[in-house]
């Protein structure tokens, strides 16, 4: 286990999380959230939790993002904060 | 003008031959993989839930690549709901069946009285059964979530 | 100082999860946009999942999928395999989280249909009239 | 005292409670409904009277309904004190039922079914209070009584009734929840039981005098039905009710339930000895004396006949509490006895007020000039009643007042005697003008000629109760004996 | 195998029937009522046997899947859990009688969806009271939440907004609970409540245990709408469809309070929860007192029956939380008894509200004039429920309040005692205001408010029947509270109380 | 409002951080979580259920009750979405 990569991913995860909640365009925020999920999934795979990683990859980065996008397209992309 | 609008409505916007073909080729493999993940959950990562999501994703992909109507025609809404119900029913039914067969709730080895094949083997098989149930339910619900959320609940116009 | 650095090395994973959790929590209660709140909720839940998964990690251990015959004949040393229990729990938690997300999105759609906006303060203004 | 287990106390309570059902059922047949009412009233008198001999012989009955709280069951018990009150209430209910029929029919009131049903529940609760074996049971029936009288007070369902009903509930329910309930809980916490035991249950608890004083004050004001000032305001307000309600409930049942509860607390929760030891009798007598004097003075200024009677009631109620507060045998007997004597007197007065209203539609004393000549029986009865209240011989009121006065002397607090005498004088001052106006002043000009006595159903009960007040002077033995047995076990 | 599966059938019946309601109900409406009522009736009857068994044999440990306790999921059926099972099934059964016609009117075409969610919610609540596993509790908590979100969002008006608000708050609560469980898992390595309880005292880290405790309790506080965290409840419960509110309002908060009881006594020890942090204990009791007073005052400001009732629910939560944290026998007895009583009281009032809504089409105070003449039986039951809320003997509400106040006196928490009495008074005002409106107003001189109300028909007999049964039960429970306390609740109190 | 949220977040985070002080070091094989329950699963699960993927074994059998409700949760989510979104006909 190379803790450099570990730390890098963790840092990226935090950056993605902050970006997700600060970006005003909801569609972008959702996509970044997908990235966040995917990074999370990497992290867990690296920690040995393959099943969880698998699930997160299919659900968090996949279906969840699509659902978000579907909703946003039916509502509005705009966010004041 | 009106005719033009009609025509725009009928020519499926946002579709290209490449995407359609790619999806047409990919979907069966994705579904196969989904089934593999469900069935092979005992020996590799995955299981009912992940496989179910993948199966569902294949239908979602149809909905994304083609249009809404096509995905609805591939999987009837009614069938979908019945499948989801059957999945949940399979799980709870097995659980109850274990209790009715004289064991405890969800004690798969009690099913040995039904078909004798060894209590431990039954545990393995019981897990398989419920995984299939989970897979069915999850697939159906994922598709249903997609349909409803991406069409705003009307099931006519999708993404 | 030495102690502090060892503490950092030993615990930084936990700290990252606390930071993520704070980000999510803040979005849930501080943001006005309903979708943002929901994204915050998802971040919150992933943070918790991260915590659980971290709890199952063992240095130098392998994934919890074994060789059936090997194990049945020779047995296995528990320290070689990561702790599978948190994984199981978190599978459930992920499912729960996606279910809630689904329901919340449906509710958001209805809210938009009714009020034409997703900003909390604008909705409140509309209600006030 | 040996109590024998028996279902009859429960029957005494239930007979009218269950009686409410046939009354409600026969809504469309007034005659049937009124027959039910009378039948139930008669049955109640019979049941209560049938328990009397045993009690007079020093026995008693007990019946446990449910075991609700450790050491505190919901239990009925018939002892001398309860018997005393139950007897008064059940006899007078019979007369009131008769009177109600006449009154309600003459005025053609609406909602008579509800009226009779509520009345039946109310009398049930009254008997329940009388036969309660412990404070919890008493509280239970006390609350039932408060709630069941609400429809009676607000019978007219107009704005004034609404206002009075609100006031009524605020005072009665408010005090019972805010004051009596905590007091009861404190008692339970200190004593571990709530059983009425002669000699009291708090004596053994070793509570400090301050705590005891607090509990006592909470009880005194908590049972606001007794009308101790400053929690008396509901009684004049409740006079908007039809007169039979005022006469029976606010002359007898409701107010006496309040007094009875306080007497129970003094006799059987604290015990006179404990009160004497920590010198808390003074608290009771002070509050009671103030109420007596102030209420009598206010009564002088009232022009509405029923309101004057209401203030008079407030004053008279405090006599009973005053008697108990003297903590002497004679005083306590007098207090208890006054329940009966005042009941017979006051109900007569209210009946007369009602009869006047039925016959003439008049409510105010200033309009009643010269009525005595046209309604001689009513006015004579009124005369008897007021004499009894004032305490003149040969009327029942004299006996209780005499006993009270003896008690005051025994206790050495001569100021109390002064209070009694002053108040009697004030009583005379606010009653005699009415009679004087009735008999000796000429009727006002423009008075319609056709005024005559109220219907027979009104007239009969009031004559009987008036005669009873007279008779009680000569044959007070049953009540006297019961009162004595209650005070000296 | 000596252990019985009875309690599992209690829970499984609504669960399985829920799936069938969805399958068959979409074909024809006629399947729904028999399936729903049948399963709940079965549950109620079975729950009686479970309770009898539990009283006879004492606490029973049941392992799902026949794995010995720390490895498999353990269920605990003690008298209290059995009592809660019975309570839930009976309340649900009675509520369903009112829910069926209401839903038929409000959500025609969606009944199968409604009742599927409804039955799963009931099954989830039943699972909650039995579980002995901390993580299983989380999953079940989420089941109940997610069904509730759905049910509430089906309502009219601003229901969706309330539902979203509830989703956010509920998720925060559940996440906090999960965080607490995570901490405990990291410290002890187990999820079984009994196992945690044995291993927790050996754990070195005091800070982590305290954090875990704080998050578990705060999470549950959010879920039960305890005072500063109550903001979501009034809207959520008053905007919910009446059919759902009738069942959710009596059960949800009560079950959560029961869970708090379980967490305190099964995971932690009373010694840890109450005595090591006396400041926290005082703080919570103060919060309970403030909660009671504030919620009562808020209720006073409402002009709609259902909103008023929701605020009363918050006040009642204060009663029970305070009672548990008083940490003495009387307080605990009172709190547990009040869980039972309050569920029935709230049920009675909500059933009455549902019946009135069905008939009149509105619950605004101005529209309730003269109800005593129009619906005497309903108002009679309502009055009994109101008396119970106020605490008039011999209705049930009086007796639990009795124990609670005694507990407060014993513990010397006078603020709590004062709050209880104050709230009784406020309740008296609240309900008598209503009773006055319903008793007096003759409806015809409406002051401009008299709009056209939806067409009304008299409520079906089973709706009124369940209401009357509830009202009578209130009195029976009141008279039988001695037996209830001695026979069940005394057995349920943890050791040392 | 934002300030309040921020403060609440900080307080929550601080408490959580305070709690992590007592945690075992990250990846410690001797941590309580790694030595108590999970060893049983790792060592016995295959023999007891004949499933080599321990996660599946625990998910499907040891904690099958959880998983059953997990399925119900997602089932409910689907139903809830349908019931919330569909306009009633």
Beta-carbon separation of C46 and A18 below 8 A: no
Please report the pLDDT score of residue E1 as a whole number: 39
Whether F35 sits inside 8 A of E189 (CB atoms) is yes
At residue F75 the predicted structure's pLDDT band, cuts being 50, 70 and 90, is very high
Q: Determine the straight-line distance between the first and last CA of chain C, rounded to whole angstroms.
A: 60
Q: Is C106 close to B45, i.e. CB distance below 8 A?
A: no
Phi, psi of C43 (to 5 degrees): -65, -45
Q: How do strand D60-69 and strand D3-5 relate by DSSP bridges?
A: parallel
Question: Tens digit of pLDDT for each residue in D287-321?
Answer: 888 888 888 888 888 888 888 888 888 888 888 88
Determine the pLDDT at residue E447: 43
Query: Is residue A67 assigned to a domain?
Result: yes
Model pLDDT, residue A8? 86
Residue D69 phi, psi dihedral angles, 5° rounding: -130, 145
Rg of chain F over Cα atoms, rounded to whole angstroms, equals 21
Output the pLDDT for position E420.
92
pLDDT above 90 for E259: yes
B156 neighbourhood in chain A, CB within 8 Å: none
Distance of alpha carbon D485 from alpha carbon D59, whole angstroms: 11
pLDDT at B3: 64
| Closest residue, chain B, to C63 (C-alpha) | B45
Query: Which residues does residue F40 pair with via DSSP β-bridges, in sequence order?
Result: none
From CA C67, how far away is CA C80, in angstroms rounded?
13
Q: How much is the mean pLDDT over chain E?
A: 88
> Is residue E304 classed as helix, strand or coil in its secondary structure?
strand
Neighbours of chain C (3+ CB pairs under 8 A): A, B, E, F
Confidence tier at E449 by pLDDT (50, 70, 90): very low
Number of neighbouring beta carbons within 10 Å of residue C78: 17
- Whole-angstrom distance, CA of residue C25 vs CA of residue C20: 8
Beta bridge partners of D76: D63, D132
Residue ranges covered by each domain of chain D? 280-489
- How many structural domains does chain A have? 1
C47/A25 Cα distance (integer angstroms) = 23
Is residue A44 a contact partner of residue A53, using CB atoms and an 8 Å limit? yes
pLDDT at B13: 53
pLDDT digits over E19-67, tens only? 999 988 888 888 899 999 999 999 999 999 999 988 888 888 888 888 8
Report chain C residues whose CB lies below 8 A from the CB of E163. Answer: 107
Please check the confidence at residue F72 and state whether its pLDDT lies above 50: yes
Total length of chain E: 497
End-to-end CA distance of chain A: 39
Which chain C residues have a beta carbon less than 8 Å from that of B49? 91, 95
Percent of chain E's residues with pLDDT above 90: 47
> Does residue A16 lie in a domain region?
yes
Domain range enclosing A66: 3-74
Residue A63 maps to a domain: yes
E151 within 8 A of E106, measured Cβ to Cβ: no
Confidence of residue D54 (pLDDT cuts 50, 70, 90): confident
Could you give the C-alpha distances from E414 to D278, E296, F51, in angstroms and in order?
Answer: 25, 18, 60
- Per-residue pLDDT, averaged over B2-6, amounts to 62
Q: Average pLDDT of chain D?
A: 84
Domains of chain C: 2-128 (1.10.287.3510)
- Both tokens assigned to A77: 């992309």
Q: For residues C94 and A60, is the Cβ–Cβ distance under 8 A?
A: yes
- CB within 8 Å: C95 and B49: yes
D219-240: pLDDT as tens digits: 888 888 888 888 888 888 888 8
Say whether pLDDT at E445 is over 50.
no
- Residues E143, F72: C-beta atoms closer than 8 Å: yes
SS (H, E, C) chain D: CCEEECCHHHHHHHHHHHHHHHHHHCCCCHHHHHHHHHHHHHHHHHHHHHHHHHHHCCCEEEEEEEEEECCEEEEEEECHHHHHHHHHHHHHHHHHHHHHHHHHHHHCCCCHHHHHHHHHHHHHHHHHHHCECEHHHHHHHHHHHHHHHHHHHCCCCCHHHHHHHHHHHHHHHHHHHHHHHHHHHHHHHHHCCCECCCCCCCHHHCCCHHHHHHHHHHHHHHCHHHCCCCCCCHHHHHHHCCHHHHHHHHHHHHHHHHHHHHHHHHHHHHCHHHHHHCCCHHHHHHHHHHHHHHHHHHHHHCCEHHHHHHHHHHHHHHHHHHHHHHCCHHHHHHHHHHHHHHHHHHHHHHHHHHHHHHHHCCCEHHHCCCHHHHCHHHHHHHHHHHHHHHCCCCCHHHHHHHHHHHHHHHHCCHHHHHHHHHHHHHHHHHHHHHHHHHHHCCCCCCCCCCCCCCCHHHHHHHHHHHHHHHHHHHCCHHHHHHHHHHHCC
Is pLDDT at B14 greater than 80 in this prediction?
A: no
Interval C50-71 mean pLDDT: 82
- Residues C79-88 have pLDDT tens digits of 788 888 899 9
Domain ranges for chain F: 52-89
Alpha-carbon D165 to chain mean position: 19
At C20-34, the pLDDT tens digits run 999 999 999 888 899
For residue C100, is pLDDT > 90? Answer: yes
In DSSP notation, E80-138 reads HHHHHHHHHHHHHHHHHHHHHHHHHHHSTT-HHHHHHHHHHHHHHHHHHHHB-BHHHHH
Alpha helices in C31-129 (DSSP H): 34-56, 68-74, 85-115, 120-128
Q: Is residue A21 part of a domain?
A: yes
Beta-carbon contacts of residue E348 (< 8 Å; ≥ 6 apart): E381, E382, E384, E385, E388, E467, E470, E471, E474
CB pair distance less than 8 Å for C113 and B148:
no
Distance CA E309, CA E317 (A): 12
- The complex's ipTM works out to 0.90
Q: Residue D240: exposed, middle, or buried by beta-carbon count in 10 A (0-12, 13-18, 19+)?
A: buried
C37-52 mean pLDDT: 92
CA distances to D329, E414, F40 from F48, in Å? 86, 58, 11
Q: Which residue has the higher pLDDT, B31 or D476?
A: B31
User: For E171, which of C21, C41, C92 is closest by C-beta distance?
Assistant: C41
Position D80 pLDDT exceeds 60: yes
Exposure string over F21-52, b if 16+ CB within 10 A, otherwise e: ebbbebbbbebbbbebbbbbbbbbbbebbbbb
- Least Cα separation, residue F56 to chain A (angstroms): 9
């Amino acid at each position: 286990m190379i803790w450099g990569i570990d730390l890098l991913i963790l840092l990226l995860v935090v950056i993605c999380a902050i970006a997700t909640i600060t970006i005003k365009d909801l569609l972008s925020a959702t996509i970044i959230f997908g990235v966040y999920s995917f990074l999370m999934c990497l992290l867990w795979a690296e920690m040995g939790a393959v099943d969880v990683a698998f699930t997160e990859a299919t659900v968090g980065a996949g279906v969840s993002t699509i659902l978000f996008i579907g909703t946003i397209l039916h509502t509005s992309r705009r966010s004041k904060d | 003008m009106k005719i033009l609008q009609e025509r725009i409505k009928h020519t499926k916007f946002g579709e290209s031959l490449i995407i359609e073909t790619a999806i047409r080729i990919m979907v069966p493999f994705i579904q196969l993989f989904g089934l593999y993940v469900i069935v092979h959950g005992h020996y590799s990562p995955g299981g009912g839930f992940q496989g179910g999501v993948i199966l569902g994703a294949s239908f979602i992909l149809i909905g994304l690549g083609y249009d809404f109507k096509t995905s609805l025609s591939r999987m009837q809404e009614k069938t979908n709901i019945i499948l989801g119900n059957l999945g949940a029913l399979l799980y709870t039914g097995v659980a109850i069946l274990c209790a009715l067969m004289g064991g405890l709730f969800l004690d798969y080895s009690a099913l040995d009285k039904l078909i004798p094949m060894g209590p431990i083997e039954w545990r393995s098989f019981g897990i398989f059964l419920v995984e299939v149930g989970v897979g069915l339910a999850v697939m159906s619900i994922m598709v249903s979530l997609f349909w409803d959320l991406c069409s705003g609940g009307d099931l006519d116009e999708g993404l | 100082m030495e102690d502090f650095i060892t503490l950092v090395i030993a615990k930084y994973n936990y700290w990252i999860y606390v930071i993520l959790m704070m980000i999510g929590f803040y979005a849930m209660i501080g943001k006005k946009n309903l979708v943002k709140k929901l994204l915050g909720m998802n971040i919150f839940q992933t943070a918790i999942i991260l915590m659980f998964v971290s709890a199952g990690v063992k240095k130098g251990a392998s994934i919890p999928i074994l060789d059936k015959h090997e194990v049945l004949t020779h047995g296995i040393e528990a320290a070689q395999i990561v702790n599978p229990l948190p994984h199981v729990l978190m599978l459930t938690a992920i499912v729960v989280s996606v279910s809630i997300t689904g329901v919340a999105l449906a509710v958001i759609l209805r809210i938009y249909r009714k009020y034409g906006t997703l900003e909390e303060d604008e909705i409140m203004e509309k209600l006030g009239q | 005292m040996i109590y024998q287990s028996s279902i009859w106390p429960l029957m005494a309570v239930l007979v009218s409670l269950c009686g409410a059902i046939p009354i409600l059922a026969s809504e469309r047949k007034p005659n049937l409904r009124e027959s039910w009412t009378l039948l139930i009233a008669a049955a109640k008198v019979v049941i209560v009277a049938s328990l009397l001999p045993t009690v007079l012989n020093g026995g008693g009955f007990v019946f446990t309904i449910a075991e609700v709280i450790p050491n505190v069951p919901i239990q009925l018990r018939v002892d001398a004190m309860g018997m005393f009150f139950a007897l008064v209430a059940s006899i007078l209910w019979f007369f009131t039922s008769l009177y109600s029929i006449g009154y309600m029919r003459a005025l053609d009131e609406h909602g008579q079914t509800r009226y009779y049903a509520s009345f039946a529940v109310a009398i049930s609760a009254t008997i329940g209070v009388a036969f309660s074996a412990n404070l919890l049971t008493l509280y239970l029936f006390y609350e039932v009584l408060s709630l069941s009288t609400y429809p009676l007070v607000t019978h007219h369902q107009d704005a004034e009734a609404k206002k009075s009903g609100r006031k009524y509930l605020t005072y009665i329910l408010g005090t019972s929840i805010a004051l009596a309930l905590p007091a009861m809980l404190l008692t339970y916490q200190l004593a571990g039981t709530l059983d009425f035991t002669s000699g009291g249950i708090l004596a053994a608890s070793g509570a400090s005098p301050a705590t005891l004083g607090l509990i006592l004050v909470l009880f005194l004001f908590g049972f606001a039905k007794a009308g101790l000032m400053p929690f008396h305001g509901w009684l004049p307000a409740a006079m908007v009710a039809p007169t039979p309600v005022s006469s029976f409930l606010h002359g007898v049942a409701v107010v006496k339930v309040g007094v009875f509860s306080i007497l129970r607390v003094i006799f059987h929760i604290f015990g006179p000895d404990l009160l004497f030891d920590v010198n808390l009798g003074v608290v009771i007598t002070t509050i009671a004396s103030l109420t007596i004097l102030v209420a009598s003075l206010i009564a002088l200024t009232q022009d509405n006949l029923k309101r004057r009677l209401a203030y008079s009631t407030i004053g008279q109620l405090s006599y009973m509490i005053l008697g108990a507060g003297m903590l002497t045998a004679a005083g306590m007997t007098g207090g208890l006895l006054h329940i009966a004597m005042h009941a017979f007197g006051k109900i007569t007065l209210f009946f007369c007020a009602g009869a006047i209203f039925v016959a003439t539609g008049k409510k105010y004393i200033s309009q009643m000039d010269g009525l005595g000549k046209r309604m001689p029986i009513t006015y004579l009865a009124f005369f008897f009643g007021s004499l009894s209240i004032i305490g003149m011989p040969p009327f029942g009121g004299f006996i209780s007042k005499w006993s009270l006065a003896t008690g005051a002397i025994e206790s050495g607090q001569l100021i109390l005697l002064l209070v009694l005498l002053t108040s009697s004088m004030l009583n005379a001052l606010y009653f005699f003008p009415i009679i004087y106006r009735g008999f000796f002043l000429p009727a006002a000009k423009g008075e319609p000629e056709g005024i005559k006595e109220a219907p027979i159903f009104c007239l009969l009960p009031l004559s009987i109760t008036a005669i009873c007040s007279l008779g009680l002077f000569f044959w007070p033995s049953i009540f006297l004996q019961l009162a004595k047995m209650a005070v000296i076990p | 195998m000596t252990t019985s599966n009875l309690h599992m059938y209690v829970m499984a019946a609504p669960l399985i029937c829920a799936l069938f309601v969805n399958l068959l109900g979409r074909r024809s409406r006629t399947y729904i009522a028999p399936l729903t009522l049948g399963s709940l009736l079965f549950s109620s009857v079975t729950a009686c046997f479970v309770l009898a068994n539990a009283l006879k044999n004492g606490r029973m440990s049941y392992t799902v899947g026949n794995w010995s306790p720390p490895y498999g999921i353990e269920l605990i059926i003690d008298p209290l859990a059995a009592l809660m099972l019975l309570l839930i099934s009976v309340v649900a059964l009675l509520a369903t009688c009112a829910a069926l016609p209401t839903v038929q009117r409000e959500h025609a075409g969606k009944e199968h969806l409604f009742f599927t969610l409804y039955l799963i919610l009931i099954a989830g609540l039943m699972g909650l009271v039995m579980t002995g596993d901390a993580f299983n509790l989380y999953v079940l908590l989420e089941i109940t939440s997610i069904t509730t979100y759905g049910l509430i969002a089906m309502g009219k008006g601003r229901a969706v907004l309330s539902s979203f608000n509830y989703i956010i708050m509920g998720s925060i609560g559940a996440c906090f609970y999960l965080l607490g469980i995570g901490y405990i898992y990291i410290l002890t390595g187990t999820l079984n409540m009994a196992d945690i309880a044995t291993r927790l005292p050996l754990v070195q880290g005091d800070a982590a245990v305290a954090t875990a405790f704080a998050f578990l309790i705060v999470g549950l506080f959010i879920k039960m709408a305890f005072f500063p965290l109550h903001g979501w409840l009034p809207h959520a419960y008053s905007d919910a469809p009446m059919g759902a509110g009738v069942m959710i309002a009596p059960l949800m908060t009560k079950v959560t309070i029961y869970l708090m009881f379980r967490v305190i006594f099964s995971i932690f020890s009373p010694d840890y929860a109450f005595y090591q942090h006396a400041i926290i204990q005082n703080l919570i009791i103060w919060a309970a007192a403030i909660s009671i007073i504030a919620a009562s005052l808020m209720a006073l400001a409402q002009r709609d029956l259902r909103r008023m009732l929701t605020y009363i629910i918050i006040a009642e939560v204060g009663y029970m939380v305070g009672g548990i944290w008083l940490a003495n026998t009387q307080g605990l007895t009172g709190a547990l008894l009040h869980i039972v009583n309050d569920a029935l009281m709230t049920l009675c009032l909500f059933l009455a509200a549902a019946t009135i809504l069905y008939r009149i089409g509105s619950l605004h105070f101005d529209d309730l004039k003269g109800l005593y003449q129009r619906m005497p039986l309903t108002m009679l039951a309502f009055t009994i429920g109101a008396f119970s809320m106020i605490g008039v003997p011999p209705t049930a509400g009086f007796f639990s309040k009795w124990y609670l106040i005694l507990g407060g006196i014993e513990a010397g928490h006078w603020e709590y005692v004062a709050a209880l009495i104050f709230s009784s008074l406020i309740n008296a005002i609240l309900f008598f205001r209503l009773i006055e409106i319903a008793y007096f107003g003759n409806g015809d001189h409406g002051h401009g408010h008299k709009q056209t109300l939806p067409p009304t028909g008299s409520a079906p007999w089973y709706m009124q029947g369940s209401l009357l049964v509830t009202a009578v039960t209130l009195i029976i429970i009141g008279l039988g509270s001695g037996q209830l306390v001695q026979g069940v609740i005394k057995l349920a109190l943890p050791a040392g109380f | 409002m934002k300030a309040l949220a921020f403060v609440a977040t900080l307080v929550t985070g601080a408490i959580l951080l305070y709690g992590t002080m007592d945690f075992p070091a990250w990846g410690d094989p001797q941590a309580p979580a790694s030595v108590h329950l999970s060893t049983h699963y790792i060592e016995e699960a295959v023999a007891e259920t004949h499933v080599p993927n321990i996660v599946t074994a625990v998910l499907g059998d040891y904690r099958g009750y959880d998983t059953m409700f997990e399925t119900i949760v997602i089932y409910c989510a689907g139903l809830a979405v349908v019931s919330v979104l569909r306009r009633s006909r």
